[in-house]
Structure formats: C-alpha cells, structure tokens
C-alpha cells in the first residue's frame, strides 16, 4: 500500500512500522511527540526508503517539513480522545494534499490479547490500567472503535474508506478529501 509513496508517519514511536514500511516506500518522515521513542527508532536498520525521524505533535502537523502523498498512523488512533478526533483530523487534512491515501492500523478489543477496559469516560473513551516492570501502574486511554464508528468519524475527511477487521487488528484505508 505504501510502495513508491512519500509517507508522513504520525506517532511512529520506536519505528516498528517505519521499518516495515521502509522496504517499499520511497521516503518516510516518521514523527512522534517523544524524542525518547525516536531515539529507539534511530537504532533500527531500515530498508531502501529515505527515513527521517522528527519530533512533532500529531495535532500540529503543520510544523513537519516536506512533501507527502500518504499518511500512516499505526496504533495511534486508539489513543486519540473522542473529544480530540476533530482536532486531529483537522491537522491531517491541513497537512496532506487532497486525494492522498490515509492508512490507520490499530487493535481490536479481543479479551485476553489486550488489557481489559478498566473505566469508560463521559465521552465514551475507554481506559486500561497498565503496570510497568518497576511496579508502577498507569491509566492509558485506549479506544476500540467499531467499523461504523470509524466510518462516522472519517466521513468528512476521507472517501473510499475501507475498514478491514483482522483477528486482532483493524485497518482503515481511504483517500483524504
Ligand atoms: C502506541 S504508541 C505507537 C507507536 C508506533 N506507531 C507503533 O505502532 O509501534 C503511541 C505513540 O504516540 C506517541 N504520542 C503520544 N502523544 C502524541 C502526540 N500528541 N503527537 C505525536 N505522537 C504522540 C507516543 O510517544 C507513542 O510513541
């Protein structure tokens, strides 16, 4: 799906998907809010794509230099609060040319394979309690949208939307309006 594309990757984290995409994309600017995760990404070996790692806020994509013709967000959508979805999609539309493919990939709620939902917020956001090796416990926002929810959220932003449900993951692909 990314073959020959100049990819803007949002919330790239430690570069797991950057590495996967780098085998076929022409170029990837992999962005994340946290320099710590990008420092891990910097230690990976990438494929033939020209890979740039850059600190950037997913809600402020106007700060990212370069020209792109595809946006990829791996395991990011689930961490966008319901109330922030319009703000994130405005940032996406404001940064990418109309007609660009948008690819989102994330977890489905499969009991046993993801942390259970520990709390539901007033906007419908779901939260998990995750423990680190140091014994500390952290509440993490993690939403599990249905295909219908994704279609509704992306209705004004993307056309030709196709949502594929895999056993543990969902993939949404469309074209930005
Ligand atoms: C679940 S990780 C996904 C990382 C990577 N895409 C993957 O699939 O392995 C979510 C990432 O979002 C980043 N993040 C959190 N808030 C962000 C923001 N406002 N803008 C950009 N990245 C953000 C975190 O630093 C983290 O790396």
pLDDT in tens, 143-156: 999 999 999 999 99
Residue for token pair 């990837």: 28
Q: In this structure, is residue 50 part of a structural domain?
A: yes
Contact 74, 17 (CB under 8 A): yes
Whole-number Å distance, alpha carbon 40 to ligand 1 midpoint, is: 13
Ligand 1: residues with CB < 6 A are 11-14, 16-17, 32-34, 37, 57-59, 74-76, 79
pLDDT computed for residue 65 by the predictor: 98
Q: Determine the average pLDDT of the residues in 24-30.
A: 98
Q: For all residues of the chain together, what is the average pLDDT?
A: 98
Q: Please state whether the predicted TM-score (pTM) of the whole model is above 0.95.
A: yes
Number of folded domains that form the chain: 1
pLDDT computed for residue 158 by the predictor: 98
pLDDT computed for residue 54 by the predictor: 98
Q: Determine the average pLDDT of the residues in 131-138.
A: 98
- CATH code of residue 29: 3.40.50.150
User: Residue 25 has which token pair?
Assistant: 């994309």
Q: In this structure, is residue 49 part of a structural domain?
A: yes
Pocket test for ligand 1, best of 32, 51, 53, 88 (most atoms within 8 A of CB): 32
Name the E strands within the chain. 6-10, 27-32, 50-55, 70-74, 101-107, 119-120, 126-131, 137-141, 158-165, 169-176
Q: Determine the average pLDDT of the residues in 43-47.
A: 98
Q: In this structure, is residue 21 part of a structural domain?
A: yes
Contact 58, 11 (CB under 8 A): yes
Range of the domain at 94: 6-110+145-176
Q: In this structure, is residue 35 part of a structural domain?
A: yes
Categorize the per-residue pLDDT at 74 as very low, low, confident or very high, splitting at 50, 70 and 90.
Answer: very high
């Amino acid at each position: 799906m990314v073959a020959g594309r100049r990819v803007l990757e949002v919330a790239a984290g430690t570069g797991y998907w950057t590495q996967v995409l780098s085998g076929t994309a022409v170029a990837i600017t992999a962005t994340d809010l946290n320099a710590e995760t990008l420092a891990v990404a910097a230690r990976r070996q990438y494929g033939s794509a020209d890979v740039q790692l850059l600190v950037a806020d997913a809600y402020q994509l106007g700060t990212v230099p370069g020209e792109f013709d595809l946006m990829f967000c791996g395991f990011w959508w689930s961490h966008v609060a319901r109330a922030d979805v319009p703000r994130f999609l405005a940032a996406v539309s404001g940064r990418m040319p109309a007609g660009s493919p948008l690819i989102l990939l994330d977890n489905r709620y499969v009991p046993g394979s993801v942390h259970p939902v520990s709390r539901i917020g007033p906007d419908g956001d779901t939260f998990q309690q995750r423990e680190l090796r140091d014994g500390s416990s952290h509440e993490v926002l993690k939403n599990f949208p249905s295909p219908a929810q994704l279609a509704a959220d992306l209705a004004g932003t993307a056309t030709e939307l196709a949502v594929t449900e895999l056993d543990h993951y969902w993939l949404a692909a469309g074209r930005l309006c």
